[in-house]
A and B are shown apart, each in its own frame.
Chain A
Amino acid sequence: MALEGTLRDMSLSDLFQVFRMGPKTGTLCLACADLRAIVYVAAGELIDAAVVRFPDRTVIAAHDEAVIQMLLWDDATFVFRHDPSVLHRPVRIRHNAEHLVLESIKRRDDLRSMLPYHHVTLDTHLQLSPLASGRESSVSLSMQQWRILSQVPHHSSVRAISKATRMPSDQVIRLVLELMAIGLIEIAPALQLAKQPLHHYEMAVTETEDRAPHLAWAASIHANGQAGVHERRLPVKRSLIDAVMRRVRGL
């Protein structure tokens, strides 16, 4: 078993955040055309990496630079496997993952392809990432990144931040993507629709007069709920739910 996908399913910067959250230990292997890469992760930290060209196995980049190279790939397949033996490997990467992500961002024109599944527009609402709390690593942000970050708790939409900072919106969007890539902010989930009042509630108890409810139900699928079953909808009583909870607890 392993965590698997492509960088379009999950970006490298997201993977690094997840490694830190775990914290995870293991090997991350990537394949992009004729290039292969490996990153060793020990207790959430990136400790060693290399990019190799196949089939001649020429080393293209190693250590910090290898990670930066991989961060510039828009797509690749990846597999991450847990492997406790990585804890005994020598540490060859000097900087933390956030630093390397920020370095790679400086070399990129288009940040959208770095986070393909995050669609940031003027109407996107943001929040500080709860994942970011409790981590001891220091990230050095630019003045502009700080300006945006400091606005997030007060003005949640990108439009409001742009107005408050008097920065052009495309610049704000880029800075927002940068802060998302290092895991400091995230898109706030859309507000749920107001709950329906209880009497509109779909919940029901199905009462059948049949001795074999299991068969009765099977019949009801085939006959669209008509044949063999006498159905009545009742509001669910709290006492029924309590009875189910007691039973499930005792299983």
Chain B
Amino acid sequence: MQILKIVITGPYAAGKSQFIRTISDIEPVSTDYAVTLDEERALKRETTVALDFGTIAINDRLSLYLFGTPGQERFSFMWEHLAIGAIGYVVMVDSCRPAHFPETQRLIARFAEITDAPFVVAANKQDDQAALPPSYIRRRLGVPAETPVLPCVATDRASVKQVLLTLLQLIATQVQD
């Protein structure tokens, strides 16, 4: 069995678990725990501590594995393990929470140190009409022009597919045959 791995990363409550849940074949194995800090609890009740994991069977010899990273910065020691060997990654960001941009910038910088694999930024929660547009998020995160910043609704399968396809197209331009 051959396995290709894509990592879904991003700060706390960006929608990583939801993204994997929406596209996976199997009910994803996730290890969400009750959030402890009051402030974080106000945002959501559960957080992914270890990892989210989903698969998409490509054929009987090949599978695509999706790994979500834990969102809170205090679990960032796990990023390295998850990123190694990945063919690409998605950086998810909540388009309604500008307070998370500095942490997202640190995360993007750290991943670029860990891996050369290409990535796309998914500006999530675009189903909220108040959400910041991808062009503003690109500006705030300082994402270079060659890296796509895509609108995303992690609860919507077509939107998740589009994000994955854009990443795969980017990967395809960078592999030999």
Contact = CB atoms under 8 A, between A and B. Distances in A.
Interface of A: 1-6, 9-10, 14, 17-18, 21-22, 24, 26, 80-82, 117, 129-131, 186-187, 189-193, 195-196, 198, 200-208, 210-211, 213-214, 217, 221, 233, 235-245, 247-249, 251
A17 B140 CA distance: 13
B34 interface: no
A192 B146 contact: yes
Contact of B142 (A14, A22, A189, A211): A189
Contacts of B177: 237-239
Q: 5 nearest interchain CB pairs?
A: A82-B129, A238-B177, A10-B98, A9-B98, A3-B130
B164 A248 contact: yes
A117 B161 CA distance: 33
A82 B1 contact: no
Contacts, number: 165
Given A244-B64, A251-B161, A131 B142 contact: no
B174 A189 contact: no
B2 interface: yes
Contacts of B115: 202
Nearest to A27: B130
B165 A2 contact: no
A59 to B, nearest CB: 26
Given A4-B96, A17-B136, A80-B130, A210 B145 contact: no
B168 A245 contact: yes
A2 B130 CA distance: 6
Contacts of B56: 244, 247-248, 251
10 contacts: A1-B128, A2-B96, A3-B131, A82-B128, A129-B139, A198-B175, A235-B175, A243-B58, A248-B165, A251-B161
Given A9-B98, A203-B117, A213-B1, A24 B172 contact: no
Given A18-B136, A192-B146, A245-B169, A82 B130 contact: yes
Contacts of A207: 1-3
A183 B85 CA distance: 40
A2 B128 contact: yes
Contacts of B125: 1
A165 to B, nearest CB: 25
Given A26-B129, A198-B176, 8 more contacts: A5-B99, A9-B99, A129-B139, A187-B142, A189-B143, A191-B144, A203-B86, A206-B85
